[in-house]
Amino acid sequence: MVDAAVRPKTTRPHADSADANLRFDVARVTDLLMGTWADTRREARELIKDSAFWRDDELGKDEHRERVLSQLHLLVENKAVHRAFPKSLGGEDNNGGNIAGFEELVVADPSLQIKSGVQWGLFGSAILQLGTTEHHEKWLPGVMDLSIPGAFAMTEIGHGSDVAAVGTTATYDPSTEEFVINTPFRGATKEYLGNAALHGVAATVFAQLITNGVNHGVHCFYVPLRGEDGVDLPGIGREDDGLKGGLNGIDNGRLSFDHIRIPRTNLLNKYGDVAADGTYSSAIDSPGRRFFTMLGTLVQGRVSLDGAASWASALGLKIAITYATQRRQFDGADGQEVVLMDYGKHQRRLLPRLATTYAQIFAHDEFLQKFDGVFSGRTDTPDDREDLETLAAALKPLSTWHALDTLQEAREACGGAGFMFENRLVGLRADLDIYVTFEGDNNVLLQLVGKRLLTDYAKQFTGKDAAALAKFAVGMTAGKLFHGAGLRQFGQSVVDLGQVSRSVENGLREEQQHMLLAERVQQMVADIAGRLRPAGKDKVLGAKLFNENQAELIEAARAHAELLQWEAFTDAVHRVEDADTKKVLTWLRDLFGLQLIEKHLAWHLINGRLSTQRAAAVSRYIDRLCGRLRPYALDLVDAFGYEPEHVRAPIASGAERKRQDEAREYYAALAASGDAPVLEKTLKKNAKR
């Protein structure tokens, strides 16, 4: 961290003098950001200070893959991968802590984070969550100690997010009590699988379970890929995906199966079983509910991506903002070159993204608490699982999109230095690119959230009589007329409080921000539901209307996720007792809320939620907030808790300040010596006198 005593003082003219002298408690905010499993995060960060875990940018694809495999063995040696596994097998039954520690690996090397996630979070978790005690005892010890490296074979070339429609089949043969795993056509090839190209010796394969001529839908099977001799078994097709746009430390590949036979007991049968005679049984009668229950047990991939993407954004901002407080460019009014962070545009490009990153980290911790409650069994009900899946589908898209946007903006904000691989930003962005489409394409996930919002909206009318529905319809109309007529609940005009900035500040505080964000979600869902209602039970018309409103439904889901993040940020602010620290975090929360309102100003204006005067003033108040936050920019990124071994970017090491100081000292000494050359424009100016 940078010592506050040696930081340059800002002379930002837009910041009130009092704003620049608050005491910001970095350590307290670090604790807030680290969240519920702070001790586990610190333990993981201490472990990855060892350079053996760091990405080596000089390695080619093949060497990078072998290095990451060796790093997985180091994780095993350091007992860093067992947290989520049962205590009976040497684990800790600590689901939340497991994800928290796993996410921290992203700052060492995203390839390490994802490959370990494949091994223990997907392959191992499928056995743990979908199998029974027999499967656990047989395979999990090898999964845990890495003697059984494995692939998670769900995705197919022809069916990415549409898992229910996978083409791979598992047909039961009662004469031998075996399942026959088969890839019937090219589009059913399992694709993009970590550990599939080289290291995997087994796979958890998702296939259509067929017995006695009936397809019982997608189930998961443990399928060996190699024999004791290390050679692929007959019928196993394995191809290397080769060089990718990022994450090249992972041996992604594709698998196909040519009538591979496995024992009946290799069916991971927690939710569905097949007897020796081929009779199928399941405690969950509905095939659809059974399918979603099985997939819901594997939600932790999305949980971890949300957290890892948020912390990757934090690392990018730590690098860019540190550099921006040291790099100088262009002479200021005092004749000294100006620090980049003192430019309004630079604040505008980085500080709102910093505010969003804080919101995402706080939301992620609440999300992780929900995950741990469900997977520990404390709050494991169908409703809780549905809520968890909806949260995962809402938050993962926003955090992964934000990471790409933030890392790109951070790269540009650092100019040519940001483009140098040694400064981490381009490598991080390339590695995180795939986060937006694996574990569920972001738009598909948000569509799931939108459908849930529509379902919850419809539940309001279940059992209502005609009079109640009519009353609701009148209320909706009255609400629209109320807002459309400009009779707003706060501040009809910017002149009501005099100064524009003060008017917005007093009229768009916590309560009003929440109102605007929440009402936007409610209104969007209500409008879409109204447009879908004419379809009734007409499936053809229903599909047509849904498709026409799909884009807006996804936008409503995004608005819902943004509201969740804002609420989590606000909850975190309320937990801070120190007045100065709370004030700074409140400004940062306000910046997050107001930039969301600014982003959707057109909607707020069209729907009469803001006057044109107040809408026009929102952007100016955001500028004012950026100025207030400028003196605390370094404190806010220091609060992420990253140490030099985590950052590993020369431009964020203090080297830039040293160069700048050297240059300033040189020119000061030259001026003092009397030997400084006279500028041509000075000569010409003097000649005109």
Q: Which residues are marked as active site?
A: 439
315 neighbors 131 (Cβ within 8 angstroms): no
- Give the other-Cβ count within 10 Å of 478's Cβ: 10
Task: Say if CB 594 and CB 618 are below 8 A apart.
Answer: yes
Give the pairing of strands 169-173 and 202-211: parallel
Tokens linked to 34: 């680290």
451 CB contacts (<8 Å, ≥6 apart)?
A: 553
Place of tokens 């009590």: 177
At 555 the three-state DSSP class reads helix
For 163, 335, 343, the CA distances from 331, given in Å and listed in that order, are 59, 5, 12
Give the ranges where 325-441 is alpha helix by DSSP (H): 344-376, 382-413, 415-419, 425-432
Name the residue with tokens 């483009």.
419
What distance in Å separates the CA atoms of residue 571 and residue 352, rounded to the nearest whole number?
Answer: 19
Q: Is residue 453 within 8 Å of residue 559, measured between CB atoms?
A: no
Q: Of 175, 76, 85, 169, which is closest to residue 123 (Cα–Cα)?
A: 85
Task: Write out the two tokens for 592.
Answer: 């997050």
Say which DSSP state 86 is in.
-
Residue 367 three-state SS = helix
Per the rule left: phi > 0, alpha: psi between -120 and 50, beta: everything else, 239 is beta
Q: How many helices (H) and strands (E) does the chain have?
A: 26, 13
HSE of 372, CA atoms in CB hemisphere, 13 A: 19
Task: Compute the distance between CA of residue 2 and CA of residue 626 in angstroms, rounded to an integer.
Answer: 21
Beta bridge pairs of residue 415: none
* Residue 204: its H or E element: strand 202-211
Q: Tell me how many degrees the CA angle 105-135-236 measures, rounded to the nearest 5.
A: 80
Sequence letter at residue 417: A
